[in-house]
Chain A
Amino acid sequence: MTRFADAAVTTDSPEVGAVALRGVTKRYAEHTAVDSLDLDIRPGEFISLLGPSGCGKTTTLRMIAGFEHPDEGDILISGRSVLGTPPYRRDVNTVFQAYALFPHMTVAENVAYGLQQKRVPKPELRERVAAALDMVRMRGFADRKPTQLSGGQQQRVALARALVNRPAVLLLDEPLGALDRQLREEMQLELKLLQSQLGITFVFVTHDQDEALSTSDRIAVMRDGRIEQLADADTIYAKPASAYVAAFVGQQNFFDGVVSPDGSGVDTERALLRPATPLAGLAAGEAARAAVRPEFIELSVDRPEGNVNVAAGDVIGVSHLGEMLQFLVQLDERTAVLSRRPAPDAPSLAVGDRVWASWRADAVQVFPAGDAAARSGYVPPPTVQP
């Protein structure tokens, strides 16, 4: 598991739409918001910067846009350093968190604003504005003022206003944060579709793992101004580079224990966890943390064979999540595990039933005990504030 395995493939030849950050550091009075960050974004890529608030993702985006200036390092857009280039001369556009539509202009005038700055001739301008509004299905609202639009409509206008300029890179700063859940999911699909049609590089800042997972080609999980892992969604989900990533993306059952004497897994009070592949870089007796995702936890009333990758407990909660059933199983006073089974072949269990939880060896991931949440068992994703 190499952290920046994918980053190594970056082309050296600059291309339109490529963004490169080289050792970028941004400090504020008390803290370092972005800490010697390296990141290569490929042309035409949909990349998400994912992390809790304060992880430096928005600062990174604002430095690419030109609203903040790095204290150290270099930023290249389409192969050229943009240090000292003001925002209005960068070939990027931004969709802002609160949309920042101009309240005194109509929808059409908002969208036309960028083209007017470039002195695009009027006929072409009208054509491009109309096309951009068509693209986001807002043509019929061209003469409205932003205040007369719903949140989702404003969002689409903001998107059209940025895309009409045909930037090399589109920056999106939590653009879906203010929308309700259903609209957000629709917009995620729409964004993905637009991006693949237009082939523009999208840099998408979000604290919402679902948003990142459903839209991105690659995700950069950020923590304390650094990138914890940069990889595609599958890798991030299946092979998190650290307990932090494992906890942040999706849900996890954590087991804290020590590396077994033969070095083949992690022993805890309740279970012996044995991954499919041998542990790398962990010595016997060292504190370690094993993780198993809820969907890999099977439940049965009868005791499964073998005494590894298995634990006994009581069902303390059952909930329906549409096509899935979710069970919360208490192993002891301090430890519970979460199991999620597809509804058709889920065991019929009720609260109070004595069950056995088991999982396959290839579902077990082991991390150094490190610094992540100290609690064993099911760890909910970190609480996020937009």
Chain B
Amino acid sequence: MRKARLPGFALAIPAWVWLATFFIAPVAVVFYYSFGYKPGLFGTHATDRLSLDRYVEVLTPTFFETFVATMWIALAGTALCLVIGGPVAYWMAVKAPPSWRGLLLALVLVPFWTNFLVRTIGWQVILAPEGWMSQAAQAIGLPAFDILYTRTAVLLGVVYNYLPLMILPLFVAFDRVGEPLREASRDLGANRLRTFWRVTLPLAQPGIVVGMLLVYIPLMGDYITATVLGGAKGNMVGQMVAAQFQTAQNWALGSAMAVTLVIVIVLSAAVVGGLCWLGTWPLRRANRVVLDAPEEVTA
């Protein structure tokens, strides 16, 4: 008697349906709208005439300038999260006693227990010229602390809000490399540093890429952190897109901006990835071992 069995992909169906309904469909709608136009004062979009005109409207110096500023913050924020989160994740996965892990992971996630906006505004209160950080600085004789509405404040907020997104995949990646491989490396004559570069880091690479994308991509679209803490210095392209949808009620132009943004995010991530790949190429080449063809294959 044969039992009826579900095909193997059945388990993935809910995920695909979810993805198709809530990700692909809205993106497709945005993509479609981006070829339309704003029909009148009280209309948001129309698609009876399709054209690339909105894309021409997108490519203004203002968009470009704002885009560069956004990318600067996103790249610097990603780099900072990597530089700060990398060692923390490594320590958690490799050095810290295993019994601490649950607690450490919980601590990493603590900021997520609070509303994103509230914790960002919390920083605004802390960093204000008469906020407690400034008062504390003055109390110990330092000059008043005034970094609110600067890019420093933006990056501070970015690191605070996005660090867990970097630490978690890195932790998993470092953890998955496992002690046995590190021991094997040291057994074969590599010290801790060499072991890190040749074994831990290459094997953790997918996790590092995931962590960087998890920070970089939402950061390109986030304008709340930047505006709350950076004021005029935190002008982000996401805000321009939102302004078209909301204030200007021009969904066609907003869609074109959103599509442009997506394209550039993908391109910039690809360029950074490509540069990293090229940059490490000499190293990989140096470690490559190709034997001469054996006279006879014995296997």
Chain A residues near B (Cβ < 8 Å):
65-67, 86-89, 92-94, 96, 98, 100-104, 106, 108-109, 111-114, 116-118, 125-126, 129-130, 133-134, 137-143, 161-162, 165
Contact = CB atoms under 8 A, between A and B. Distances in A.
Contact of B297 (A103, A112, A139): A139
Interface string B154-196: 0000000000000000000000000011011111111100100
Nearest to B188: A114
A254 B291 CA distance: 58
Contacts of B202: 104
Chain B interface size, under 10 / 10 to 19 / 20 to 34 / 35 or more: 20 to 34
B297 A117 contact: no
A93 B191 CA distance: 14
Interface in B264-299: 287-292, 294, 297-299
Interface of B: 180-181, 183-191, 194, 198-199, 202-203, 287-292, 294, 297-299
B299 A137 contact: yes
B299 A88 contact: no
A338 B287 CA distance: 59
A121 to B, nearest CB: 13
Nearest to B297: A140
B191 A100 contact: no
A88 B183 contact: no
A108 B292 CA distance: 11
16 contacts: A67-B183, A87-B186, A93-B188, A98-B180, A102-B199, A108-B290, A109-B289, A113-B188, A130-B292, A139-B294, A140-B297, A142-B291, A142-B294, A161-B188, A162-B187, A165-B188
A126 B186 contact: no
A89 B287 CA distance: 21
B299 A113 contact: no
A118 B191 CA distance: 11
B203 A139 contact: no
B184 A102 contact: yes
A147 to B, nearest CB: 13
B190 A88 contact: yes
B294 A88 contact: no
B191 A94 contact: no
B299 A140 contact: yes
Contacts of B183: 67, 87, 94, 96, 100
Given A88-B187, A109-B288, A139-B299, 14 more contacts: A66-B187, A93-B187, A98-B180, A104-B203, A109-B289, A113-B190, A114-B188, A116-B287, A126-B292, A133-B291, A137-B298, A142-B294, A165-B188, A165-B189
Given A96-B183, A139-B298, A88 B290 contact: no
Nearest to B205: A104
A116 B185 CA distance: 11
Nearest to A111: B289
